[in-house]
Amino acid sequence: MNKQFLLASRPTGTPSSENFKLVEVPIPDLKEGEVLVRSLYISVDPYMRGRMNDYKSYVPPYSLNEPIAGGVVGEVIESKSSQFQTGEIVMGMYGWQTNGVVNGKDLQKINSDIAPISTALGVLGMPGLTAYFGLLDIANPQAGETVVVSGAAGAVGMIVGQIAKIKGARVIGIAGSEEKINYLKEELHFDEVINYKTTSDIKADLRNACPNGVDVYFDNVGGSISDAVLLLINQGARIPLCGQISLYNLEKVDIGPRMQPLLLINSALMQGFIVSNYMSRFHEALPQMAQWVAEGKIKYKETIVEGFENMPTAFLGLFSGENIGKQLVRVAD
Amino acid sequence: MNKQFLLASRPTGTPSSENFKLVEVPIPDLKEGEVLVRSLYISVDPYMRGRMNDYKSYVPPYSLNEPIAGGVVGEVIESKSSQFQTGEIVMGMYGWQTNGVVNGKDLQKINSDIAPISTALGVLGMPGLTAYFGLLDIANPQAGETVVVSGAAGAVGMIVGQIAKIKGARVIGIAGSEEKINYLKEELHFDEVINYKTTSDIKADLRNACPNGVDVYFDNVGGSISDAVLLLINQGARIPLCGQISLYNLEKVDIGPRMQPLLLINSALMQGFIVSNYMSRFHEALPQMAQWVAEGKIKYKETIVEGFENMPTAFLGLFSGENIGKQLVRVAD
């Protein structure tokens, strides 16, 4: 039998466990070309919140009463594809299920010699590639420039900061707990990290941390944190828009200070993106990321929740900031 | 004697004639390398409003009790520069003065064979170059794409729309009077033009005018007009930020719906710019613009106020939308 979490209802505001339904269904027989994968690690990501709404976005909305789609690393249990052998470790997008029946064309092999297999969902997967292309392709930080990253202790943010350090930039993180801040400063050598939850004046903290202004703002969160950063942008600033997690659970369009005048007077660039825009260039990024990880220039962290039944809990924790680094659910050994 | 308009006080909100002071001062003797220019046409531009405030922008603020700087076309009356002869027509930035004593290095010769000399302040000057680089360099519209331009009947907007038509785009203008709308539709062949002052539902008008969404939004105005356009942007939309005239006279930061989520889900680009960013490429743009004007592919219009004493009136008219095309003041024949 296969366990699945279905989207039972579309959340209004902050999702709750009520929006998800756990079901057991038989595993169908494999057709020619298909592979049966036993899930080992399942990813939960902030972008999934957007797909729970029924509106146009860069990916289609989830369907009600269907399994929630997303990245999974698993082991091949049975194969009717000539490309895959039993026992191989693969990555697919079949989502919140303990087992996936997937066409071999939609699976990628994972080389466990390079790094632990879970990294295919993190630093060597979508979050790492998101950091790589958003920072290097859109923002192209130069040595000596100031790079601010919000959501700095998240799966993307902590990679952004480390790549910016590799490029010689001064890196300021914004995160929401002392544990995160200590990790970013002590382990990842961010130059400064601001705790947005405890500060009494984030604008003043940012001014102090960025005496030469802000050249790059990698935005994972949006809202008032981003408003504060934008006040400090320099001429020619670049602002990759990667996420707006502070807004995802709001029930109506948020209002805030208009930022177009700041972009105008600073000849600044703001660019929304999604990692799939860069699919044709993944092959150039992944070896570089793997090399940086192997050299210890990029470290990573995962927050792992145990047990398939805890998928919704792990997902909801993203919005209260429970995770440091990539949030995963381990569903089998 | 030389007449000058000085900035007498910094405006709060909408400027008034009280903010300007007309003075007469002697014309100094020329030093070596200097040229005396008699002003013929003086430019008034929306960006001047920003320079009347005392805050950091892409150009320094105007100083109190100094002449207001800006573009002028005039005739050389006397020259101690080997580069300029009496009777030549030149362009300089010496501003709201009936005569300028200017170093020859800061003057450009105007060839009156190409087009009327006033165009050096309009279609073949800063506004035309602003349209050219903002549209072609930042937005690069493709044949069949939909381009929306606000402030469409202004000195920049009407050139933007015509270049977009040359590139094969569908062009939608937004302007504020029936006279402007008729001109843009009948003379310049814009596909649709929306009167933002008389419409009861600009969002519906835009939806009707842009059935395939918006690929390029050239923003001259900001505020609620831009909010309405942004709701319609397509994947990969490009939004050059050229001006935000609807906000320039506000006394505090305006608030509005946050647009980062729209940029994010559409992988859209927003880029502030100022024409001087492209100074090293003016030489490539000006011959192309002159050719389009000569071929009749780009038409232009000027609104000319007579008499130096009316400089403030002409400037203030920019904010109530008095002008069609480039607003100039003619101060001598």
Q: Write the pLDDT tens digit of every residue in A145-197.
A: 999 999 999 999 999 999 999 999 999 999 999 999 999 999 999 999 999 99
Beta-carbon contacts of residue A307 (< 8 Å; ≥ 6 apart): A329, A330, A331
pLDDT at residue B217, rounded to an integer = 98
Residue A52 domain boundaries: 2-122+300-330
Residue B252 contacts A, CB cutoff 8 Å: no
B73: tokens are 């076309």
**From CA B148, how far away is CA B174, in angstroms rounded?**
8
- The answer as to whether B289 is a domain residue is no
Judgement on whether residues B75 and B139 belong to the same structural domain of the protein:
no
pLDDT at residue A56, rounded to an integer = 72
Judgement on whether residues B25 and B152 belong to the same structural domain of the protein:
no
* Block residue for tokens 């990916």: A59
**Phi, then psi, of A162 in degrees rounded to 5:** -70, -35
**From CA B246, how far away is CA B294, in angstroms rounded?**
33
Q: Are the Cβ atoms of A244 and B261 closer than 8 angstroms?
A: yes
Residue A276 contacts B, CB cutoff 8 Å: no
pLDDT at residue A117, rounded to an integer = 97
Q: From residue B170, how far is each of A23, A181, B81, B216 by CA, in Å?
A: 51, 50, 48, 10
Smallest CA–CA distance, residue B28 to chain A, in Å, is 35
Smallest CA–CA distance, residue B260 to chain A, in Å, is 7
Indicate the residue of B222, B235, B257 with minimum beta-carbon distance to A260.
B222
Res B333 pLDDT > 90: no
Total domains present in chain B: 2
Q: Are the Cβ atoms of A270 and B269 closer than 8 angstroms?
A: yes
Q: What would the mean pLDDT of B20-34 be, rounded to a whole number?
A: 97
Q: Which helix (H) or strand (E) holds A326?
A: strand A326-330
**From CA A165, how far away is CA A143, in angstroms rounded?**
9
Q: Are the Cβ atoms of A272 and B274 closer than 8 angstroms?
A: no
pLDDT tens profile B299-324: 999 999 999 999 999 999 999 999 99
pLDDT at residue B189, rounded to an integer = 98
pLDDT at residue A58, rounded to an integer = 72
Farthest CA pair distance, chain A: 63
- The answer as to whether A281 is a domain residue is no
- The answer as to whether A51 is a domain residue is yes
> In a 10 Å sphere around its CB, with 0-12 CB exposed, 13-18 middle and 19+ buried, how is residue B38 labelled?
middle
Would you say A90 and A74 are in contact if contact means Cβ atoms under 8 Å apart?
yes
Beta-carbon contacts of residue B88 (< 8 Å; ≥ 6 apart): B75, B76, B109
CATH number of domain containing A215: 3.40.50.720
Residue B116 contacts A, CB cutoff 8 Å: no
3-state secondary structure of B214: strand
Q: From residue A314, how far is each of A17, A116, A153, B7 by CA, in Å?
A: 11, 20, 16, 61
Percentage of chain A lying above the pLDDT 90 cut: 96
Judgement on whether residues B35 and B173 belong to the same structural domain of the protein:
no
Judgement on whether residues B199 and B167 belong to the same structural domain of the protein:
yes
> In a 10 Å sphere around its CB, with 0-12 CB exposed, 13-18 middle and 19+ buried, how is residue B254 labelled?
middle
Res B331 pLDDT > 80: yes
Judgement on whether residues A118 and A132 belong to the same structural domain of the protein:
no
Q: What would the mean pLDDT of B76-92 be, rounded to a whole number?
A: 97
Angle between helices A126-133 and A157-166 (to 10 degrees): 50
Q: Are the Cβ atoms of A255 and B253 closer than 8 angstroms?
A: no
| The residue count for chain A | 333
**Order of all β-strands in the sheet with B146-150:** A192-195, A170-175, A146-150, A214-218, A233-241, A269-272, B269-272, B233-241, B214-218, B146-150, B170-175, B192-195
Smallest CA–CA distance, residue A22 to chain B, in Å, is 29
Judgement on whether residues A200 and A132 belong to the same structural domain of the protein:
yes
Judgement on whether residues A151 and A271 belong to the same structural domain of the protein:
yes
Judgement on whether residues A105 and A141 belong to the same structural domain of the protein:
no
Beta-carbon contacts of residue A61 (< 8 Å; ≥ 6 apart): A51, A52, A53, A54, A55
Which residues is B222 bridged to in the sheet?
Answer: none
Closest residue, chain A, to B258 (C-alpha): A255
Judgement on whether residues A113 and A130 belong to the same structural domain of the protein:
no
CATH number of domain containing A31: 3.90.180.10
Q: Are the Cβ atoms of A260 and B241 closer than 8 angstroms?
A: yes
- The answer as to whether B292 is a domain residue is no
Residue A243 contacts B, CB cutoff 8 Å: yes
Best interface-test mutation with B: which of A220, A249, A270 has the largest number of B CBs within 10 A?
A270
Weakly modelled stretches of chain A, pLDDT under 50: none
Would you say B266 and B237 are in contact if contact means Cβ atoms under 8 Å apart?
yes
Mean residue pLDDT of chain B comes to: 96
Beta-carbon contacts of residue A282 (< 8 Å; ≥ 6 apart): A129
pLDDT tens profile B186-244: 999 999 999 999 999 999 999 999 999 999 999 999 999 999 999 999 999 999 999 99
Smallest CA–CA distance, residue B188 to chain A, in Å, is 28
Would you say B72 and B93 are in contact if contact means Cβ atoms under 8 Å apart?
yes
pLDDT at residue B150, rounded to an integer = 98
Res B57 pLDDT > 90: no
Residue B257: list chain A partners with CB under 8 A. Answer: 253-255
Judgement on whether residues B251 and B316 belong to the same structural domain of the protein:
no
- The answer as to whether B192 is a domain residue is yes
pLDDT tens profile B261-290: 999 999 999 999 999 999 999 999 999 999
**From CA B72, how far away is CA B204, in angstroms rounded?**
42
What is the DSSP track for A30-52? PPTTEEEEEEEEEE--THHHHHT
- The answer as to whether A236 is a domain residue is yes
Judgement on whether residues B152 and B266 belong to the same structural domain of the protein:
yes
**Phi, then psi, of B79 in degrees rounded to 5:** -140, 130
* Block residue for tokens 């007449």: B3
What is the DSSP track for A112-178? TTTS-GGGGGTTTSHHHHHHHHIIIIII---TT-EEEEESTTBTTHHHHHHHHHHTT-EEEEEES-H
pLDDT tens profile A187-227: 999 999 999 999 999 999 999 999 999 999 999 999 999 99
pLDDT at residue B235, rounded to an integer = 96
**From CA A239, how far away is CA A295, in angstroms rounded?**
28
Res B38 pLDDT > 90: yes
- The answer as to whether A295 is a domain residue is no
- The answer as to whether A291 is a domain residue is no
Best interface-test mutation with B: which of A260, A266, A271 has the largest number of B CBs within 10 A?
A260
pLDDT confidence bin for B55, thresholds 50/70/90: confident
Beta-carbon contacts of residue B125 (< 8 Å; ≥ 6 apart): B43, B71, B91, B119
Judgement on whether residues B133 and B177 belong to the same structural domain of the protein:
yes
